[in-house]
Amino acid sequence: MPAISFASRRLLLAGAVFGAFTLSAVAQQPASPPAAPAAQPLPPGSPMIGRPDNEAAAKLAPVAPPPIPAAADKLPLAKLKVPAGFNIEVYASGMANARSLAQSDKGTVFVGSRLVDKVYAIADKDGKKSVKVIASGLYRPNGVAFKDGTLYIAELSKISKIEKIDDVLDNPPKPTLIYDKLPKDEAHGWKFIAIGPDNKLYVPVGQPGNNVLHDADHGQIRRINLDGSGAEVYAVGVRNTVGFDWNPETKQLYFTDNGRDWLSETVPEDELNRVTKAGEDFGAPFCYQGNIIDQELGWGKDCKNYTAPVGLMGPHTAALGMRFYTGSMFPKPYKNAIFVARHGSWNKSQKQGGDVVLVKLNKDGTVKSMEPFLTGFLEDNKYVGRPVDVMQLKDGSLLVSDDWNGAVYRITYGKQKVAAK
Amino acid sequence: MNKTLIAALAFVSLVFPASAESISDRVAPCLACHGERGTSATENTPSLGGQQAPYALIQLFMFREKLRVFEPMNEMAKSLTDDDLRTFSDFIAALPKPAPPADAADSARMARGETLAKQNRCNTCHNTDYSGKENVPRIANQREDYLAKTLAEYKDNSRHGYDATMADVMQTVGKDQIGELAYYLAHYR
């Protein structure tokens, strides 16, 4: 079937003709299966919603990573570039679909996953690192957070915890459920989680599709007490945030949010948002990037009624994990700047993102500049790796997770002892 | 079918300890059910010929990790190494793709199936000729019973995909439409 035209009008017409044809067939043969309805909306979670009818768009579909983590000697380390004076090394590998990062007070690094069922721990014993699976059989356990000895894990629709995790790394108990009043939608259902300066656990619930209206349980960031009680909605109009952190000076929450697909190659851009008061509305799915009223759902809406982003992160770039840099290893200009992992686009003919960028802020907390920091994951319009999350270690070095290769890299500054291979 | 599987499993446990075997020896138990030349003659068991290697790799991985549950396959894959998974998926991809059924298809059913396939935009990910691409499987000329079974499993969420695309796509596809889609894809020319 060469070059199917994606002209939907023609398809719909054809559908109507087929429909009429089948109806008479049904009349003659009551036993034959019922006819296809002439037009049917795509399911709300379908990534195809909003796709225009043309060949270039038809070539685009979400990109899935390989299921098997790359062997340590097959990682694209040699292709990765950092600014002068910085070094990058492999921190740990062999963790299929390594996603969000968290760190215990004893230096254990926890790594969530989305397409497999595992949470990993990278244990560090006298400089010797080993990877352990500390939970398996979980459903899309993307989110991890740590506080006072306890590891919190976010699956698609529930949050659970393992207490005194550092003491039980070799023989961890099953996680204990603390909260499951969450929708079960697959689309944008996987979760990044983090614990705020108010000691509450922040839990996002994405909008259940590319560009959809939804009920009051979606499109938001909630916060709950660490025992699962006291859930409240903290921000709304959030399409799908997969990374957030608190400004170390103002304690305000900053979060990335992914813009809708299929509007165009160049807009909307992903957002970097700042919450200045609880309950703020960030616009999705009515207003994107602070100044684009959605062509389908935005009628009767006005962007001025929503909080605009403080920064734009590029179209379809999938800005995910982000953290403020508070360490002292990197040079002064990095202090209190934000590292943002951009997973990289699928909804764009020429892929964009697939890097870690540095966002510097003005005194008033707005964005001053954005510059590349870690690049090289994108080669000939294909990914050789895809960064998901960033996290500062206690020594001020920066970890970057890569779900394409199932690895975590470490970036240092200045002359470092070369870590053991 | 179960007898064949048990026989195949017994065969596997017999032969696996000897690791120096050639790939054709090692895939013999697979092909016993999935078909010597890539085309399955076994009920509810997919043809593997011409399957996309990245997709086959993902499925073998999911069987090994029990992310996809089907006991005979979980058992088969349980002791495979990462390299084994790659070897088998590459081998599968190189088998000849299944041919369309020789009998002429019912044109009314084909038309209904085609309409449904277009409405649901199957061709976006599965390619315009349904040969699949990368992590998305070839579905053209797959066994009709297996296609229908798989679509039903995605619909009732008893089969979890690697990502969630098929679960979402199947939400609005009616149970009665699954048969039409399976018929169309199995007979696709």
Alpha-carbon distance of B87 to A360, in angstroms, equals: 47
Q: Is B1 on the interface with A (CB under 8 A)?
A: no
Beta bridge partners of A98: A113
**Given B86, B136, B164, which is nearest A187 (Cβ)?**
B164
> Nearest-CA residue of chain B relative to A13?
B115
On the 0-12 / 13-18 / 19+ scale of CB atoms within 10 A, A350 is exposed
In the block, tokens 């590029």 appear at: A314
Q: Is B179 on the interface with A (CB under 8 A)?
A: yes
Q: Do B171 and A45 touch (CB under 8 A)?
A: yes
Pair A100, A389: CB distance under 8 Å: yes
Identify the pLDDT of residue A43: 64
Best CA proximity match to A138, nearest among A176, A185, A93, A81:
A176
B176 contacts on A by Cβ (under 8 Å): 33-34
Residue A107, sorted as left (phi over 0), alpha (psi -120 to 50) or beta, turns out to be left
Calculate the CA B126 to chain-centre distance.
13
Q: What is the pLDDT along chain A (421 residues), one digit of tens a residue?
A: 344 333 333 333 333 334 333 333 333 443 444 444 444 456 666 777 777 777 777 777 788 888 999 999 999 999 999 999 999 999 999 999 999 999 999 999 999 999 999 999 999 988 899 999 999 999 999 999 999 999 999 999 999 999 999 999 999 999 999 999 999 988 899 999 999 999 999 999 999 888 889 999 999 999 999 999 999 999 999 999 999 999 999 999 999 999 999 899 999 999 999 999 999 999 999 999 999 999 999 999 999 999 999 999 999 999 999 999 999 999 999 999 999 999 999 999 999 999 999 999 999 999 999 999 999 999 999 999 999 999 999 999 999 999 999 999 999 999 865 554 4
Strands of A327-377, DSSP E: 338-342, 355-361, 367-374
B119 contacts on A by Cβ (under 8 Å): 11, 15, 36, 39-40
Interface confidence: ipTM more than 0.85: no
**Given B57, B67, B86, which is nearest A117 (Cβ)?**
B67
Question: What are A139's two structure tokens?
Answer: 């459903």
Q: Give how far A318 is from chain B: nearest CA, Å.
A: 17
Residue A392, SS3 per DSSP: strand
A47 contacts on B by Cβ (under 8 Å): 165, 168
Q: Is A30 on the interface with B (CB under 8 A)?
A: no
SS3 content of chain A, % helix, strand, coil (to 5): 10, 35, 55
pLDDT tens readout for residues B122-169:
988 899 999 998 899 999 999 999 999 999 999 888 888 888 788 878
Degrees (nearest 5) of the Cα angle B183, B188, B189?
Answer: 155
What is the value of pTM for the model shown? 0.84
Q: Is A187 on the interface with B (CB under 8 A)?
A: yes
